[in-house]
Structure 1
């Protein structure tokens, strides 16, 4: 099956949304932050075993730049860093939770493992 390519004009709202949550891990990171609140970098790493440390750092940095999440670095050794969803990022909650619901339905219909 060939994928449909949509020709979104510049400024398309769907394209804008995808630019913020696109990337293999951004939506999953947002899901964990939205459902559990503030997380340390190491906690996110444990919840995303397939995501390399470098990729996690990159995805977090991009979301920080977009204003979707915020972070606090504590001046301790080793460094302690916490991340949370900003009020602006909270506006994505209905989108992320709809993705979760759709994924659960997809998994149950297709016999995939539901976690």
Structure 2
């Protein structure tokens, strides 16, 4: 059986290949820490459901951190992990 990730390009595309992932990552790179509402404002075409799904996927893949503050109203910020920071040159090339 061939390893699905025998090619680094295939791995990168699986991680960031979602329709909105590049825009999400670009905004997190630009602002370092960004709140959910700010992301939604900057990418108005994406639905709340899809944005939430893509953020969870990026978090599960170890690309972004989700920091939840216990306060009212709730506050959640997203930032890049060390692994996510390795994608900065790739995202900047696309820009």
TM over 0.5: yes
Q: Name the Cα RMSD after superposition.
A: 1.1
Alignment of 1:68 onto 2:68: no
Aligned to 2:51: 56
In structure 2, which of residues 73, 83, 89 is the aligned counterpart of residue 78 of structure 1?
73
Aligned to 2:38: 43
In structure 2, which of residues 4, 7, 15 is the aligned counterpart of residue 10 of structure 1?
4
**Any unmatched runs of 5+ in structure 2?**
none
> How many equivalent residue pairs?
92
Structure scoring higher RCO (CA < 8 A, sep ≥ 6) equals 2
Q: SS of the residue aligned with 1:77?
A: coil
1:41-64 per-residue CA deviation (whole Å, 9 max, x = no partner) reads: 000000000001111100000000
Aligned to 2:28: 33
Q: SS of the residue aligned with 1:71?
A: strand
Q: Distance in 1 between matches of 2:12 and 2:56?
A: 17
Q: Distance in 1 between matches of 2:29 and 2:17?
A: 17
Q: TM-score, normalised by structure 1?
A: 0.77
**Any unmatched runs of 5+ in structure 1?**
1-8, 101-115
Task: Report the CA distance between 1:22 and its aligned residue.
Answer: 1.0
1:53-111 per-residue CA deviation (whole Å, 9 max, x = no partner) reads: 111100000000010000111111221100001111000000000000xxxxxxxxxxx
Q: Distance in 2 between matches of 1:78 and 1:22?
A: 33
